[in-house]
Amino acid sequence: MSPQAQGLWARVLVRALVVAAAGVMALGFLGPGAALLVTFLTALTYVLLWARSRYAGFLFVDPGPGPGPEPPEDPAVDPDGPTDPPRGPRPRNPPD
């Protein structure tokens, strides 16, 4: 068995333990129907993440348009002049 295969089996074992633990926790807190749903969705997440990493080159062939023109630099001085400071709520008057 190669070191890569040992790492693969370790990852599969850990992921299976996580799926089982999620199912057991959902069974204890939410009931059997929710436990099956949580277990299925957890396993599906691992499968989709694996497929994304394996087939990302096939799925995302067209990167789309380029980044476009660079935005203009901010001017050093605001062309509209200085802005008023932000106003907060009125201060409370002391009790009489």
pLDDT < 50 positions in the chain = 1
Amino acid, single-letter form, for residue 30: L
In this prediction, residue 63 carries a pLDDT of 58
64 assigned to some structural domain: no
CB-CB neighbours of 34 under 10 Å: 13
In a domain, 10, yes or no: yes
Please report whether residue 37 resides in a domain: yes
Among candidates 14, 21, 23, 12, which has minimal Cα distance to 50? 12
What domain count does the chain have? 1
Domain for residue 68, yes or no? no
User: Is residue 87 domain-resident?
Assistant: no
pLDDT at position 74, please?
63
Give pLDDT tens digits for 26-39. Answer: 999 999 999 999 99
Query: Is the residue at 84 inside a domain?
Result: no
pLDDT given for residue 17 in this prediction = 95
Domain carrying residue 39: 3-59
Intra-chain end-to-end CA distance of the chain, in Å: 86
Using alpha carbons, select from 26, 22, 13, 17 the residue that is nearest to residue 42: 22
The pLDDT of residue 8: 85
33, part of any domain: yes
Interaxial angle between packed helices 3-30 and 32-59, expressed in degrees from 0 to 180 and rounded to the nearest 10: 140
